[in-house]
Amino acid sequence: STGAVKMQPKAEELKFVTKNDGYVHIHPSSVNYQARHFESPYLVYHEKIKTSRVFIRDCSMVSVYPLVLLGGGQVHVQLQKGEFVISLDDGWIRFVAASHQVAELVKELRCELDQLLQDKIKNPSMDLCMCPRGSRIISMIVKLVTTQ
């Protein structure tokens, strides 16, 4: 029996897209340079440099829920072609939700987390784990992120 076997791309063939720079590559000095597969298509990075092409260094894979809950910009929910889409960063990053209810719950959880963090900034001595509202929000986020 013969046939084609799908091969993982070589490290230098992997490329990602950023909003401002288009395609970028993982720098050869990065620990993740040899990684040929990521469970999530999203990476966060610390440094971006341009030599022969644009490279990112100090990168880590990030899954969908942490990106939605902790990523920049506002969260929006829209109905597009019969699917409920959660969007970030003015629509540049988009996810399809399982249902309208899931999309709205994720959006509301993000709003609650943002408000909780604003409260913490205003009152640095506040213990988020001891206040009832804070502990509920944090435990819900932990449960969501660990069971996705």
The per-residue pLDDT string of the chain (148 residues; one tens digit each, 9 = 90 and over) reads: 556 666 666 666 778 888 888 899 999 988 888 887 888 888 999 999 999 999 999 999 998 888 899 887 889 999 999 999 999 888 888 889 989 999 999 999 999 999 999 999 999 999 998 999 999 999 999 998 888 7
Q: What's the pLDDT score for residue 122?
A: 96
Q: What's the pLDDT score for residue 14?
A: 74
Token look-up 């994720």 returns 106
| Bridge pairing between strands 22-26 and 54-62 | parallel
Q: What's the pLDDT score for residue 85?
A: 93
Spacing of C-alpha 37 from chain mean position: 16
Q: What's the pLDDT score for residue 111?
A: 94
